[in-house]
């Protein structure tokens, strides 16, 4: 029996919980009084008393039929599940899923999301102890410490900072929160970010003299600039160089253009199309979530982000009044 689904005719919803693997089945039946709202609750609900879980639902509007991908202990449990709901299946068949790269990547991101809260709690506490101990040692033995010991502590401090950045990348990418919109100073956010980032002596920062005031979530935009400035520092490395930040108000379009430019060697042209992909990184030590997090933040603000080479320039375009875009905030 063939199943034909037209993209314009289907209602599709995915499951968010990662559960133990069971046999996978496909069934088909009439919609009856089911609505898309009820379907969405079904697909995101835990296993019922028969052990049946909805993985995905496909609705064919023309035929008023629902096709379900289910995980269940057995075919019998699915028949009983539908009888209990007052539905009669036209067919139930066991299948084996062949996972595409897209599905595998989605599953990785789902696992990452579940792990983020554990990572935040389990790693931040011991990491705080390490960083506090380094600070105490630096203060207590500052005058009597040998150069060798000072270098060891500096290495420990840099390593703990790298770990903290990785944790922040994971947490910021996985965490979805509503925007807290206020009329903020963009220049103030830049200064706050620079205060929290270690800028090596070989790198000169150049920031705008003019300020721009508009509506944005200051905490999220600070995370954004932290990522961009940190990436620029890593790109420049131990060479002498500079990072330049520019503001450009587009009065006609009622938008703000922000550029973050660095003097690093640039991104290989072949890799440019992939830099916003989750888990893709060119760094030896990195999560591959920094730039995707930046993209999420910008898009949540109704803006766009792009990167060009020669020199490496990240361009952000944000609307001055995000409240004109209510769908983006939801």
**Region 140-148: what's the mean pLDDT?**
86
Query: What percentage of residues in the chain have a pLDDT greater than 70?
Result: 76
Residues 108 and 93 in one domain: no
Last residue of a domain, which of 126, 150, 174?
174
How many folded domains does the chain comprise?
A: 3
241 & 258 share domain = yes
Closest CA to 231 of 312, 127, 171, 317: 312
Residue 325 and residue 195 share a domain: yes
Q: Do 262 and 245 reside in the same domain of the chain? A: yes
Residue 82 in domain? yes
- Boundaries of domain holding 112: 102-174
Domain co-membership, 195 together with 57:
no
Helix, strand, coil % in the chain, rounded to nearest 5: 45, 20, 35
Residue scoring higher pLDDT (270 or 107): 270
Residues 201, 133, single domain; the answer is no
Q: Is the pLDDT of residue 8 over 50?
A: no
Of all residues in the chain, what percent carry a pLDDT higher than 90? 18
127 shares a domain with 93: no
Residues 252, 305 within the same domain: yes
Most confident of 2-11, 137-146, 161-170: 137-146
Classify 106 as helix, strand or coil: helix
pLDDT in tens, 152-198: 888 888 777 767 766 766 666 666 667 788 899 999 999 988 887 88
Residue 309 lies in a domain: yes
Q: How far is CA 202 from CA 188, 241, 258, 263, in A?
A: 24, 6, 24, 12
Residues 46 and 110 occupy one common structural domain: no
Q: What is the CATH number for 120?
A: 1.10.287
Query: Which of residues 135, 153, 174 is at a domain's end?
Result: 174
What pLDDT is recorded for position 46? 82
* Whether residue 50 sits in one domain with residue 123: no
Q: What is the CATH number of the domain that holds 38?
A: 3.30.70.3090
In a domain, 126, yes or no: yes
CA dihedral 64, 18, 224, 232 (to 10 degrees): -120
How confident is the model over 62-66, as a mean pLDDT? Answer: 86
Does 1 map to a domain? no
**What gap in Å lies between CA 255 and CA 330, rounded to an integer?**
21
Please indicate, yes or no, if residue 280 is contained in any of the structural domains. Answer: yes
| Boundary residue ending a domain (74, 98, 122) | 98
What is the Cβ-side half-sphere exposure of residue 41, based on CA atoms within 13 angstroms? 5
Tens-place pLDDT, residues 233-288: 988 988 889 999 999 876 556 889 999 999 988 888 888 888 887 766 766 555 66
Average pLDDT, the chain: 79
Q: Which residues contact 30 (CB under 8 A, 6 or more apart)?
A: 64, 65, 66, 87, 88, 90
| Residue 35 confidence (pLDDT) above 90 | no
Same domain, 324 and 235: yes
What CATH number does residue 243 fall under?
A: 3.30.565.10
Query: Do 280 and 191 lie in a common domain?
Result: yes
Q: What is the pLDDT of residues 243-253, one digit of tens each?
A: 999 998 765 56
């Amino acid at each position: 029996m063939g199943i034909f689904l037209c993209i314009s005719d289907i209602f599709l919803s995915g499951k968010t919980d990662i559960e133990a693997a069971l046999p996978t089945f496909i069934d088909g039946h009439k919609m009856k009084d089911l609505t898309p709202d009820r379907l969405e609750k079904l697909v995101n609900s835990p296993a019922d008393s028969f052990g049946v879980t909805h993985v995905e639902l496909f609705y064919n509007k023309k035929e008023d039929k629902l096709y379900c991908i289910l995980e269940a202990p057995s075919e019998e449990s699915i028949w009983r599940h539908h009888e209990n709901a007052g539905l009669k299946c036209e067919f139930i068949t066991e299948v084996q899923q062949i996972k595409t790269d897209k599905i595998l990547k989605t599953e990785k991101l789902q696992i990452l999301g579940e792990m983020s809260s554990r990572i935040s709690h389990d790693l931040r506490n011991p990491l705080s102890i390490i960083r506090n101990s380094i600070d105490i040692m630096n203060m207590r033995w500052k005058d009597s410490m040998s150069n060798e010991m000072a270098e060891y502590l500096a290495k420990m401090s840099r390593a703990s900072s790298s770990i903290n950045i990785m944790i922040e990348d994971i947490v910021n990418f996985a965490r979805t929160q509503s925007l807290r919109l206020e009329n903020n100073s963009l220049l103030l956010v830049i200064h706050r970010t620079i205060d929290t980032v270690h800028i090596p002596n070989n790198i000169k920062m150049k920031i705008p003299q003019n300020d721009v005031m508009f509506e944005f979530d200051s905490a999220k935009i600070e995370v954004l600039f932290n990522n961009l400035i940190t990436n620029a520092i890593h790109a420049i490395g131990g060479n002498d160089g500079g990072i330049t930040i520019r503001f450009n108000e587009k009065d006609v379009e009622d938008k703000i253009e922000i550029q973050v430019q660095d003097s690093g060697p640039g991104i290989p042209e072949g890799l440019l199309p992939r830099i916003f992909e989750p888990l893709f990184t060119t760094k030896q030590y990195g999560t591959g979530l920094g730039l995707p997090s930046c993209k999420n933040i910008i898009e949540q603000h109704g803006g766009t982000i792009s990167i060009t080479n020669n020199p490496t320039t990240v361009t952000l375009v944000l609307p001055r009044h995000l409240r004109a875009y209510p769908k983006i905030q939801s």
